[in-house]
Structure formats: C-alpha cells, structure tokens
Amino acid sequence: MNTKTQSLKNKLGVMLLALGLLTLGSCQNKDAKPTKMTADMAEKIVVKGEAQAELTPPPFVPKPVGKREATKLFVNLEILEQEGEMVDGVKYMYWTFGGTVPGSFIRTRVGDEIEFTLKNHPDNKLPHNIDMHAVTGPGGGAASSLVAPGHEVTFSFKTLQPGIYVYHCATAPVGMHIANGMYGLILVEPEGGLPPVDKEYYIMQGDFYTKGNYGEKGMQPFDMNKALKEDADYVVFNGHVNGLVNENAITAKVGETIRLFVGNGGPNLVSSFHVIGEIFDRVHVEGGDLVNENVQTTLIPAGGAAMVEFKVNTPGTFVIVDHSIFRAFNKGALGMLKVEGDENEKVFAGKIKEGIYLPEGGTIQNMPKTETKKVVIEDKTLAQQIADGKSVFTRTCFACHQSEGQGIEGIFPPLAKSDYLNADVNRAIKTVINGLQGEITVNNVKYNSIMTSQNLNDQEIADVLTYVYNSWGNNKTVVSPQMVQKNR
C-alpha cells in the first residue's frame, strides 16, 4: 500500500470517528431531560412588571398562568366572620378568608414575588393571621401577618417551588380557627405553566364539630370537646353539606379533560378522595412532582392537597365522595360532577340483562328491624314539614333516590312523578316503616331491589314523605304523624 493511499484511509477514519461522535452527541441531547428548576434557581429569578392577583371563590379557579414571566403579584385578602348554613335549618358562624369556605383560590408561578395584604374586617371579633404552606419563612407567614379587627398587614415572599399548597389561620387555638373554616389553596405553577385542560375546579374538604348532632336546627356553636376527640358531626366539601350538589355541582361535557385542585383543610380527618364511576388518569401526589397514573382513590392528608386529572367519556351524574363512606352519606362529604353529551356504549352500555336471583330459593328473606325512638309530635306548618323533610331526605334517602328524586336507573325507582307513590299514601308510609323487597312497577318500569326499613320516628317519616309528595311533580299529599302511627 502506497503512502498516498494510507493517508487517504487515515483521513477517512478521522471523518467517520467525528461523524460518530457528532451523532452520539445529537442522540444524547435529544434524550436529555431539561434541567429541573430548584429552589435556589427560583430564588435568583428576576421579576418583571407588576400585576394584581385574580382571586376566585370555590369551585372556580383563576385563569392559568401560562408562559408569563415571573412578576410582582399583589394579593389582597379580607377576613370575614359571618353566619352561614351548614345544611337546611342549621346555622353556623364561619370564619373565612374572602367570605367563603374554603377561602379564595390564589394562583401564582415559580419566581413570583408576592406582596400579600391581609385585612381583618372591623366587624370581626378576633385577631387572625395566615400560614401559607407555599411560603419558605417563619410560620409560613403567620409570624408576620397577625392582624386585629379593623386593621390590615402586608408581608412579602417569593414562590420557590411549584405545587398546590394549603393556607390556613394559625392563631391560637389553631385547631379552632381551622375548624371554623379558615383554610384555602394557593397554586404555584411551574415555569411555562401547567399543561392545558378543558375544565379546572377547586374543591376542599373540611370537618366541623357542633354542639348539636347532625341536622339539629338553629345556630350551632363550635364544640371543642368533639374536636379534641375527632368526632366530626359534618364532613363536607366547600364549606357545607350542599356545597357541591344540585345547583352547586360542577359540570363538564363528554370528551373533556378535567383537572381538580383538591385540598383538605382538616383540621383532623384524612380524605379518601374518589369520584364514583371515574378513574383518575393522573394524580399529582400530595400536590408535588410525583405523578401516579390510573388511580381509583387518592389519600389527601389534613393540611395537604392533590391535583387529579381525568377525561370524561360518558354522560351522567358522577358522585364525588370521601370514600370513608359513612362520611359521604351520613355527614355530608358528597358532591356531583354533571356531564352532558352523547352516550358512548363502547365505554358503558348500561344494563344488558335482568333476572331474579334467589340464593335461598323461594324462602321469604326478612330484613332486620330496629326500634323507633319515641319523640313528642310537633304541630308543624306545611312549610316547616317540607323544610324538615328535605333535611331528612338529604341525610337518609339522597344516595339511592338522588337529588331530584330521579332514582338510579334499573336499581332504585324514581320518586319524581311516581305513580306508585301517588296511588297509595298508606302503602308509601308502610314502605318507609317496614322496608320493601321484590318486584314493583313504577312509571311502567319494573324494579326488583331491596329497601331496608328506616329508623325514623313518626314525625320524621311524616316530614320526609310530605317533602317528597310536595316535590318533583307529585300530588301534594300532606302526611301527618298520626297517619304514620296508624300504619305501624
């Protein structure tokens, strides 16, 4: 081999080696993940401009931050102590951030400089402050924000880490201030913003402790002994039993992707957050960077939060619950997501077959009965009966027969415009007292399920049936306690 040929081969080898290194470097750059922003990096971000923060009441959230640069953000939040309604006829003195429970939703991004002004309304009775879990500083800001009625205080901080964070009052006794409704959420979006979705909503769970038991009428004061025992009378979404149902339900359309910012104010109970009939596509566990996929129920600690995302594929009413399930159906931790759109039988075809299953043959299966407590029969007006009956319905009948008496298709019959109810009031009374099993026909549709006897006194049965008969297109029958007594 001559010298010229050898030189040519050497040059070709060098070129191939360079090309290989270039290709390798290109592949490595392609696969390389972007550098994750740290708190130290966020601390050095220079803000540009100023803006007034948009604050929203639940279940709404402000506009996404998107790709805006870090800015100086002014937040103005007012503390209000005001009377509200826990459930029909039950009054409670809430302590609030912004006049709602939970408090106003605050939306920021990493690197923002927040100038936070907290105002304590002159009509309030107590001093308050705010501890923001998004703050890196003494007390989460609580040490700098104690404010007396009729005064305001301003403090500042920089958002260093993305996530969804709880804020709450931290004035002693801290548990009492939180238990009266003083909590909310602040979102810190990452640089570049969160991925877009079709709908976003704000939900926060809280447990409440009252002198009276669930449903007892009138103004109910806070009960410290129950709070210390963690014996909650109410566990609710967005401040009260009806905070997320009926006209307060959140909505979507088939095909949309939903993002829920879910917090738990506590003060005591952990939330087992679940949407019946849906699976969470993505869960930002505890509101941080860790993402879990295909999740049925997610735990949210007291003082914690999570972001859950899912696509809705079928129409209907999807019930939102704390899956510590007695809280949902007996203490108020129940909400609704109403989805409109076309049916999708590829995903859910509904009932395709019906039959009779009697594992014990033709033997009559008796349902257990419990003794009904005796109470003094009240002389109520029709309006009082309807109002009290609605309260009984909400805590006793709602789960099976639904908010508008529509029932659950193929399982529990409707109470709305019910020919079965309207035809025989005594039969209806006996059904509530004794329960019912076997096949019945309601509005030309056959149902075959079991209703257990209800442990209600004569007055409660009279009230709830009067409410049902005077709702949803029924015949306006008025049921008295004496009528119930005669059917026992």
**Is 128 flagged in the annotation as binding?**
yes
**Is 121 flagged in the annotation as binding?**
no
From residue 77, give the alpha-carbon distance in Å to each of 53, 119, 159, 177: 10, 6, 18, 17
The 10 Å Cβ neighbour count of residue 413 is 26
Question: What one-letter code names the amino acid at 411?
Answer: I
What is the DSSP track for 254-291? Answer: TT-EEEEEEEEEESSPPEEEEETT--EEEEEGGGSS-E
CB 282 within 8 A of CB 293: yes
Cα separation, 170 vs 95, in Å, equals 13
**Is 169 flagged in the annotation as binding?**
yes
Cα separation, 27 vs 276, in Å, equals 45
What are the tokens at 245? 């149902």
SS3 20: helix
Q: Which residues contact 318 (CB under 8 A, 6 or more apart)?
A: 275, 276, 277, 278, 312, 336, 337, 338, 339
**Block residue for tokens 């076309």:** 342
What are the tokens at 406? 């529509």
CB 223 within 8 A of CB 93: no
* First-last CA distance in the chain: 116
From residue 410, give the alpha-carbon distance in Å to each of 68, 317, 355, 401, 404: 51, 15, 12, 12, 17
**Is 177 flagged in the annotation as binding?**
yes
Nearest Cα to 390, choosing from 403, 376, 408? 403
Determine the Cα angle at 277 with ends 272 and 278, to 5°: 70
Question: What one-letter code names the amino acid at 387?
Answer: A
**Is 168 flagged in the annotation as binding?**
yes
**Residue 274 bridge partners (DSSP):** 297, 321
- Orientation of helix 458-469 relative to helix 382-396, angle to 10°: 100
**Is 182 flagged in the annotation as binding?**
yes
* Residues in binding site for Cu cation: 128, 133, 168-169, 177, 182, 323
Annotated binding-site residue numbers: 128, 133, 168-169, 177, 182, 323
